[in-house]
Amino acid sequence: MISVTEQASRTRLPGEGAVARLACAVVQPLLSRVVRRIAASHPSVFARLGAHQSTDFLIDPVELPFALHLRPDPRALVLRAVPRDRMPEAGAVIRGKFLLLLELIDSEEDGDAAFFSRDLEVSGDTEAVVRLRNALDDMDGSIAEETAAMFGRPGRAILARLRKSYAEART
């Protein structure tokens, strides 16, 4: 088994940058829609972040060709897909497998256990990461389910399949 760090730093394949840029272009409209809707539905998340609203977070699902840049500032909200060769400087980095990160968003997975088992890597401003985690924990409902519902039956089916895949991979 390779660690999260090893997987994230693996040698990139020729043409991978072009694939990443295309993937970013495809998912960006979805990310913009999702972040606007979640922000409108859960404005209290920003208050919980306090001074860390202006922190740039890099959320890095290691098996995807891109990372996510999040700045949870309600006045200048950013959630964008960025190719790995163009990742911005970030105050905090959260790195792990996509399905683990998805489960962490909804507090379905123990972040501490994932960190100590080295399935999750956190670097930079750990206070900002803890604040983000606490803000997400205090939310009513599920961000993943809200996001899936935005896309109707296909969105809910995809989320159910992702969760099933994660559960199968863990056993």
- pLDDT over 50 (residue 1): no
- pLDDT over 80 (residue 3): no
Query: Model-level pTM?
Result: 0.82
Residue 137 near residue 64, CB atoms below 8 Å: no
What does the buried/exposed string (b/e) look like for 93-127 if buried means 16 or more CB atoms within 10 Å of the residue's CB? bbbbbbbbbbbbbbeebebeebeeeebbbbebbee
Q: Can you give the pLDDT at residue 2?
A: 44
Distance CA 100, CA 121 (A): 11
Per-residue pLDDT tens digits for 65-102: 999 999 999 989 999 999 988 999 999 999 999 988 98
Q: Can you give the pLDDT at residue 94?
A: 95
Break the chain into its structural domains and give their ranges: 4-140
What CATH code would you report for 4-140? Answer: 3.30.1050.10
Residue 92 near residue 51, CB atoms below 8 Å: no
Higher pLDDT, 167 or 144: 144
What is the DSSP track for 83-108?
A: EGGGPPP-SEEEEE-HHHHHHHHTT-
Residue 149 near residue 155, CB atoms below 8 Å: yes
Stretch 130-146: mean pLDDT, rounded? 86
Q: Can you give the pLDDT at residue 95?
A: 95
